[in-house]
Amino acid sequence: MFYNSLGTSGLRVSRLCFGSLTIGPLQAGLSISAGASVIRRALELGVNFIDTAQCYDNYAYIRHALKGWPHRVIVASKSYDYTREGMARSLEEARREMDLELIDIFLLHQQETALTIAGHRPALEYLLEAKEKGLVRAVGISTHAVAAARAAAVMPEIDVIHPLYNQAGLGIIDGSREDMLAAITLAHNNGKGIYLMKALGGGHLATKARQSLQFALATPGVAAVAVGMQSLAEVETNVAWFSGREPSPELLAQVEGKKRRLHIGDDCQGCGNCLDRCSQGALQLVDGRVRVNEELCILCGYCAGVCQDFCLKVI
Ligand code: SF4
Ligand code: SF4
């Protein structure tokens, strides 16, 4: 495994970041012990960086995976909270549920514009104070939007940016791949640590996985790439690619051709709550039920978290 400095944050991370959304209730719904085993395998193979979020509802998997692990692991989490009190609760929940003294990286989740970031100012102020107290090492944003990445790139108080970026530009909500690259370059030149999400376009680029990951890794200024994994075979394949090796044909056969999709349960009541959560505009109501446009859906699973009837799941 190769390791990089995450901007000027002082953190040194494996180029492969374990994207943990995939193991939890919004996606594979593995048992705690099965999901923790997948994370643990990644740690054994040199991964030292795990990405999670409050809304992934998967802190218990990470707590189990880290229990007794003797080496340092850098955990990044995120919260949608925009108030000081809400962010304080979010950080406390992350520390408690993962049994961690501090959370290395805490991000404002899914920011869209400079205005969105400004609207989260009280939460950001809380995180900066938490950083002063040693409860957080680095603060920043995650985003699918060029405008937010560009705005965060010039904010001195932002240490880390977690932008959506892939070779096809899939999922960027307000611009092209080139626009996002310009924002990433600006951020890197300003000392921000960059780790990417959705290098495989939420599964749309899965048939070109190796090439897509190499593209992401070759992006100037990128310290790491978060990849969602939910099986030992996926971990071993990605570790091989990120270490400059070829996985065995047997491993490749296990991971190739696995197509994911958003499953919508029959009991959808058509309340429309999930439409607001989808920044990709992939959901619409048709005849009183939600429908997904698979061309637009990046399989992030975020809509699943707001459906009180548990109708949505990435499978
Ligand atoms: S939130 Fe659930 S019930 Fe409401 S429209 Fe979406 S899928 Fe249907
Ligand atoms: S439909 Fe759901 S899974 Fe697909 S992009 Fe929108 S929020 Fe993500």
- pTM summary value: 0.89
- Regarding whether 267 and 251 lie in a shared domain, the answer is no
Q: What is the largest CA-CA distance in the chain?
A: 54
Question: How far is ligand 2, taken at its centre, from the CA of residue 291, in Å?
Answer: 11
Q: Does residue 272 line the site of ligand 1, with CB under 6 A? A: yes
Q: What is the CATH number of the domain that holds 292?
A: 3.30.70.20
Question: How far is ligand 1, taken at its centre, from the CA of residue 176, in Å?
Answer: 30
Shortest-distance atom of ligand 1 to CA 275? 6
Domain count, the chain: 2
- For residue 304, give its domain range: 262-314
- Regarding whether 181 and 35 lie in a shared domain, the answer is yes
Query: Number of helices (H) and strands (E), helices first, in the chain?
Result: 11, 14
Q: Which two tokens stand for residue 291?
A: 């429908």
Kindly report the three-state secondary structure assignment for every residue of 227-268. EECCCHHHHHHHHHHHCCCCCCHHHHHHHCCCCCCEEECCCC
Q: Which two tokens stand for residue 315?
A: 């499978």
- Regarding whether 288 and 209 lie in a shared domain, the answer is no
pLDDT at 265: 84
- Regarding whether 203 and 136 lie in a shared domain, the answer is yes
Considering the chain, what is the average pLDDT of its residues?
A: 93
Domain boundary among 204, 220, 255: 255
Q: Which two tokens stand for residue 10?
A: 């002082």
Ligand that comes closest to the CA of residue 302? 2
The three-point CA angle 152-158-159 to 5° equals 120
**Phi and psi for 132 in degrees, rounded to 5?**
-60, -35
Ligand that comes closest to the CA of residue 27? 2
pLDDT at 221: 95
- Regarding whether 227 and 107 lie in a shared domain, the answer is yes
Q: Name residues whose C-beta falls within 8 Å of residue 91's C-beta, 6 or more positions apart in sequence.
A: 79, 103, 106, 126, 127, 130, 135, 136
Each residue's pLDDT tens digit, 183-221: 999 999 999 999 999 998 877 788 788 999 999 999 999
Domain boundary among 226, 255, 284: 255
Q: Which two tokens stand for residue 96?
A: 């408690």
Question: How far is ligand 1, taken at its centre, from the CA of residue 270, in Å?
Answer: 5
- Regarding whether 226 and 168 lie in a shared domain, the answer is yes
In eight-state DSSP terms, residue 197 is B
- Regarding whether 190 and 287 lie in a shared domain, the answer is no
- Regarding whether 294 and 170 lie in a shared domain, the answer is no
In eight-state DSSP terms, residue 308 is T
* Strand 222-228 relative to strand 16-19, pairing: parallel
Question: Residues near ligand 2 with C-beta < 6 Å?
Answer: 262, 277-278, 280, 282-283, 292, 297-303, 314
Q: Which two tokens stand for residue 46?
A: 């040199």
CA neighbor of 10 nearest in space, from 98, 105, 101: 105
Q: What is the CATH number of the domain that holds 128?
A: 3.20.20.100
237 contacts 21 by C-beta, under 8 angstroms: no
Question: How far is ligand 1, taken at its centre, from the CA of residue 282, in Å?
Answer: 13
- Regarding whether 296 and 220 lie in a shared domain, the answer is no
The three-point CA angle 89-272-85 to 5° equals 15
Q: Does residue 290 line the site of ligand 1, with CB under 6 A? A: yes
Neighbours of 1 (CB within 10 A): 15
pLDDT at 176: 94
Q: Does residue 292 line the site of ligand 1, with CB under 6 A? A: no
50 contacts 41 by C-beta, under 8 angstroms: no
Q: Does residue 307 line the site of ligand 1, with CB under 6 A? A: yes
Q: Rg (Cα) of the chain, in Å, rounded? A: 18
- Regarding whether 229 and 115 lie in a shared domain, the answer is yes
For residue 48, the SS3 value is coil
pLDDT over 90 (residue 64):
yes
- Regarding whether 160 and 296 lie in a shared domain, the answer is no
For residue 289, the SS3 value is strand
- Regarding whether 180 and 148 lie in a shared domain, the answer is yes
Please compute the mean of the pLDDT values over residues 284-306 and round it to a whole number: 88
pLDDT over 90 (residue 38):
yes
Each residue's pLDDT tens digit, 232-264: 999 999 999 999 999 999 888 888 766 778 889
pLDDT at 258: 65
Helix (H) or strand (E) segment spanning residue 128: helix 121-132
43 contacts 49 by C-beta, under 8 angstroms: no
Please give the Cα distance from 31 to 77 (Å, whole number): 21
Each residue's pLDDT tens digit, 147-163: 999 999 999 999 999 99
Domain boundary among 230, 255, 280: 255
Please give the Cα distance from 283 to 299 (Å, whole number): 12
